[in-house]
Amino acid sequence: AQSVTQLGSHVSVSEGALVLLRCNYSSSVPPYLFWYVQYPNQGLQLLLKYTSAATLVKGINGFEAEFKKSETSFHLTKPSAHMSDAAEYFCAVSLASGSRLTFGEGTQLTVNP
Partner 1 sequence: GAVVSQHPSWVICKSGTSVKIECRSLDFQATTMFWYRQFPKQSLMLMATSNEGSKATYEQGVEKDKFLINHASLTLSTLTVTSAHPEDSSFYICSARAPGPPLSGANVLTFGAGSRLTVL
Query: Segment 28-47, which members bind partner 1 (CB under 8 A)?
Result: 32, 34, 36, 41-46
Shortest CB 88 distance to partner 1, Å: 9
Q: Taking the CA of residue 65 as centre, how many other CA atoms within 13 Å lie in the half-sphere pointing to its CB?
A: 31
Work out how close the CB of 62 gets to partner 1 at its nearest, in angstroms, rounded to a whole number: 19
How many residues line the site for partner 1 (CB under 8 A)? 22
The Cβ of residue 79 has, within 10 Å, a number of other Cβ atoms equal to 11
For position 86 contacting partner 1 by CB under 8 A, the verdict is: no
Site for partner 1 (CB under 8 A): which residue of 24, 49, 72, 86?
Answer: 49
Closer residue to partner 1, CB minimum distance, 9 or 80: 9
Give, as ranges, the residues between 56 and 75 that touch partner 1 (CB under 8 A). none
Q: Which residues bind partner 1 (CB under 8 A)?
A: 32, 34, 36, 41-46, 49, 51, 90, 97-106
